[in-house]
Amino acid sequence: MSLGPAEVAKIAHLARLAIREKDAPAYARNLSAILDLVAQMNAVDTTGVAPMAHPLDMAQRLRADEVAEPNQRKHFQAIAPRVEAGLYLVPKVIE
Amino acid sequence: MEWETVIGLEIHAQLATQSKIFSGASTAYGAEPNTQACAIDLGLPGVLPVLNREAARMAVMFGLAIGADVAHRSVFARKNYFYPDLPKGYQISQYELPVVQKGQLTIDLEDGTSKVIGITRAHLEEDAGKSLHEDFHGLSGIDLNRAGTPLLEIVSEPDLRSAKEAVAYMKKLHQMVVYLGICDGNMQEGSFRCDANISVRRKGDPKFGTRAEIKNLNSFRFVERAIEFEIERQIDLIESGGKVVQETRLYDPDQGETRSMRGKEEANDYRYFPDPDLLPLVLDDEFIAAARASLPELPDGKKQRFVEQYGLSSYDAGVLTASRELGDYYEATVAALGSEPKLCANWVMGDLAAFLNKDNRDIGQSPVSAVQLAGLLRRIQDQTISGKIAKEVFEALWAGEGDADAIIEKRGLKQITDTSAIEKVIDDVIAANPEQLAQYRAGKDKLFGFFVGQVMKLSKGKANPQQVNELLAEKLKG
C-alpha cells in the first residue's frame, strides 16, 4: 500500500506534528513500507491464534482504591506556561 | 406519512470510587481546581496507569445486575484526539473487548406495559477534565480534577422508539446504578450524563435513517425535550425535501432546541489501538463470584417482593422501591408496627413524602424516624387518635417535639371514646341547633354531615368519628 502526500499531511495533522513539505515524500515512503510489512503479516494464516493485546503474556495488576496522591498543584503549575486561579490557561477552545 | 423514531442512548455513569481509575488522586467533587490532579492525570511523561480494583468490581456488579456477559478478559485502548481537557492526547477507554457485553433492562411504560431494552455493552474509561470558557484574557481555563475519574459508559441498542421510552430507560438505569451503590447518580454534578443518538425512518422501513448525536444531556427533562425537538426537526427536514446529516448537536435548554456543533467539523478519527501501558484486565471466577455476592436486592425483585409480602399494589410497591433507602425506611416502619403494611405505605407515600418534598429532603434526612412513625401509626391503630388528629401529631413529630405518645399527652389529643362524654357533646350540639334538627327530622338527610362537623368541632376533633356517627344517628332520630 502506498501513501500519497495528502494522506501524509492528514496523519501529521491528526498527530499534531508539523512536517516540512520537502520531507513529505520520505515520510510517505517510510510509512508505506510499514504498511507493506503489515500487509505481509496480514497474509499469514492466523486461524486458531488468539489476537494479542500486549506483548507481555501477563494480566493487569489491580490497585487498592485508596487516595494516595497529595495535592502538588504548586509543583506542577511551576512548569505550566500560564496559570490563573488554580487553572491551567490554554489558547481558547470553542465548543 | 407515518414516521418511526429510533433512539439509542450512551450513558456515562461516574463510578463512586475514592480514587481515580488509573491514579491515587481523590475523586471528591468540588475541590479547588487542579488540587486533585496528579502526575498521571496530567499525563506527564514517564508515568504509568494502574487500574483501580474497585472500578473493575463496580463494572462487574453492573454487568451481573443487567444479566450481561462479564468478560473474563477485556482490553484497554487509546482513543486519540486533541482537546485541552485531555492532557495525554488520548482517552483510555475500552474498544473491541469491553468488560460488559450484551445485557438488558426492562422498562415500565406509562400504559402499564413493559419493554426489554438491549444493552450492547458497558465499558470502563476515564473522564476528561473541565474547560472553563469565561474570559481569562481570551484564553480558556482548564481544571483537571475530573480527569481520570472512572466512568462506566453504558451503550444501549437502538431499541427506544420515543422520548418517553428514552427517559424511562434512563431513569431505570439511574435507579439501578444508585441501588448498586456504584454511582451517586448526582446529575447536577455530572455523575450521570447522557448522549442520545436519534434518527427517524418511514414506518415499516427496515433501514435506519441517518442519525444525529446530541451530547451531554444532564437531566431527564432535557433528554425528553431535546429528543422531541430533534425528532420534529428531522421529520420537518425530510418532509421539506432535505436530508439529515450525521453530526453532533448540542441541546440549548434556554432556547429548547438542538444546534449543530460547528467548529468540530472534522470527522472524528480516533485511531483506537490497545494501550501498551496497560495489560489486559483478567477477571477470574472468584472475582466475579465475589462481585455477585455483593449485589444488593435489585429494584425489580424488591418491588415484586413488596407486592407479595405486604400485599401492596404494583404502583405502591414501585413508589416505595424507587430508592433503596425509601424501601428500607418502609420496611423498618412495618417491622416496628408489626402489622398493617398498607397503613404504613399510605403514610410513607402520603404525609411523609409530602413533608420531605416540601423541605426538599431525601428520606435519609427525614427528621421522623421509621420507629417514630410506627409509634404514631400504633396510636391510630389502637384508636387513641383519629387519622385526622394523626396529621397534627405528625407535624409535631416533624418539628422535633418528641415521640407520638409524648405529643398526644402534652397536647391532650387523646381521642374521646367514652360514650357518655361523646353523648354529652352531641346533646350540646343538638340543643344549640334546633332549627337544623327540625329540618333534619323533616327529611333533610344531608344535614347529618353538619351535625357531625359540629360535634367534631366542639370536641376539638378528638371524638372518635365512628362512635360519633353511630351515637348521632341514634340521637337525631329522637
Percent of chain B with pLDDT over 70: 99
Which of B365, B386, B411 marks a domain boundary?
B411
Q: Which residue has the cell 332549627?
A: B435
Residue A34 to residue B227: CA distance in whole angstroms: 45
H helix or E strand, kind and range, residue B80 = strand B76-80
Average pLDDT of the segment spanning B266-292: 92
- Which B-chain residues 328-387 have CB contacts (< 8 A) with chain A? none
Of residues B311 and B445, more confidently modeled: B311
Q: Is the dihedral of CA B453, B454, B455, B456 positive or negative?
A: positive
Q: Same structural domain for residues B155 and B79? A: yes
pLDDT of residue A80: 94
Please, which residues bridge with residue B140 across strands? Answer: A90
Which of B354, B377, B411 marks a domain boundary?
B411
B250 close contact with A: CB closer than 8 A: yes
Of residues B112 and B184, more confidently modeled: B184
Q: Same structural domain for residues B427 and B401? A: no
Taking only the tens place, the pLDDT of each residue in B188-211 is 999 999 999 999 999 989 999 999
Q: Same structural domain for residues B360 and B243? A: no
The pLDDT confidence band at residue A94, using thresholds 50, 70 and 90, is low
> How would you label B400-412 residue by residue, b for 16+ Cβ within 10 Å and e otherwise?
eeebbeebbeeee
- In terms of residue numbers, what domain contains B244? 3-291
Residue B429 to residue A25: CA distance in whole angstroms: 108
pTM of the model: 0.87
Statement: residue B231 has pLDDT above 80: yes
The pLDDT confidence band at residue B155, using thresholds 50, 70 and 90, is very high
H helix or E strand, kind and range, residue B195 = strand B192-202
Q: How long, in residues, is chain A?
A: 95
- Which B-chain residues 85-144 have CB contacts (< 8 A) with chain A? 89, 97, 131-133, 136-144
For the range B273-276, what are the long-range contacts, defined as Cβ-Cβ under 8 Å and sequence gap of 24 or more? B273/B77, B273/B78, B274/A53, B274/A54, B274/B75, B274/B76, B274/B77, B274/B78, B275/B49, B275/B76, B275/B77, B275/B78, B275/B92, B276/A54, B276/A55
pLDDT of residue B298: 96
CB-CB under 8 Å, B261 with A67: no
Q: Same structural domain for residues B385 and B369? A: yes
Q: Same structural domain for residues B140 and B284? A: yes
Of residues B153 and B216, more confidently modeled: B153
Statement: residue A82 has pLDDT above 60: yes
- DSSP annotation of B350 reads I
Q: Same structural domain for residues B467 and B379? A: no
Partners of residue B75 in chain A, C-beta under 8 Å: 53
Q: Same structural domain for residues B69 and B95? A: yes
In chain B, the number of structural domains is 3
B19 close contact with A: CB closer than 8 A: yes
Taking only the tens place, the pLDDT of each residue in B41-69 is 999 999 999 999 999 999 999 999 999 99
Taking only the tens place, the pLDDT of each residue in B79-88 is 999 889 999 9
**Antiparallel, parallel or unpaired: β B3-14 and B150-156:** antiparallel
Q: How long, in residues, is chain B?
A: 478
Statement: residue B133 has pLDDT above 90: no
Taking only the tens place, the pLDDT of each residue in B240-268 is 999 999 889 999 988 889 998 854 545 67
Q: Given phi > 0 = left and psi -120 to 50 = alpha, else beta, which region is B408?
A: alpha
Mean of per-residue pLDDT scores for chain B: 93
Of residues B262 and B19, more confidently modeled: B19
pLDDT of residue B263: 47
Partners of residue A90 in chain B, C-beta under 8 Å: 84, 139-140, 142
Which of A15-19, A42-46, B122-126, B415-419 is least confident? B415-419
User: Which residue blocks in A1-42 are alpha helix, DSSP H?
Assistant: 5-14, 24-42
Contact B6, B158 (CB under 8 A): yes
C-alpha distances (whole Å) from A65 to each of A68, B99, B360 are: 9, 19, 33
Statement: residue A93 has pLDDT above 80: no
CB-CB under 8 Å, B33 with A68: no
CB-CB under 8 Å, A66 with B18: yes
Q: Same structural domain for residues B133 and B217? A: yes
The residues near B421 (Cβ < 8 Å, ≥ 6 apart) are: none
Q: Same structural domain for residues B186 and B103? A: yes
Q: How many CB atoms lie within 10 A of CB B349?
A: 17
Residue B294 to residue A8: CA distance in whole angstroms: 52
Q: Given phi > 0 = left and psi -120 to 50 = alpha, else beta, which region is B256?
A: left
Contact A60, B51 (CB under 8 A): yes
Contact B368, B333 (CB under 8 A): no
Q: What are phi and psi of B437, to 5 degrees?
A: -60, -45
Q: Same structural domain for residues B335 and B231? A: no
Percent of chain A with pLDDT over 90: 73
What ipTM was estimated for this complex? 0.91
Q: Letter for the amino acid at B330?
A: Y
Statement: residue A51 has pLDDT above 60: yes
Partners of residue B38 in chain A, C-beta under 8 Å: 69, 72
Q: Identify the CATH number of the domain in which residue B443 sits.
A: 1.10.10.410
Q: Same structural domain for residues B313 and B404? A: yes
pLDDT of residue B163: 96
Taking only the tens place, the pLDDT of each residue in B369-403 is 999 999 999 999 988 888 888 999 999 999 999 89
Partners of residue A17 in chain B, C-beta under 8 Å: none
The pLDDT confidence band at residue B216, using thresholds 50, 70 and 90, is confident
The residues near B73 (Cβ < 8 Å, ≥ 6 apart) are: B97, B280, B281, B282, B283
CB-CB under 8 Å, B33 with A85: yes
Contact B68, B84 (CB under 8 A): no
Contact B249, B259 (CB under 8 A): yes
Q: Same structural domain for residues B286 and B313? A: no
Q: Which of B147-151, B239-243, B426-430 has the highest mean pLDDT?
A: B147-151
pLDDT of residue B265: 47
Taking only the tens place, the pLDDT of each residue in B96-107 is 999 999 999 999
Which of B371, B386, B411 marks a domain boundary?
B411
Of residues B421 and A59, more confidently modeled: A59
Q: Is B13 helix (H, G, I), strand (E, B) or coil?
A: strand
Contact B75, B94 (CB under 8 A): yes
Q: Which of A66, A71, A76 sits opposite B24 (nearest CB)?
A: A66
C-alpha distances (whole Å) from B66 to each of B60, B95, B176, B415 are: 10, 20, 9, 51
Residue B71 to residue B103: CA distance in whole angstroms: 12
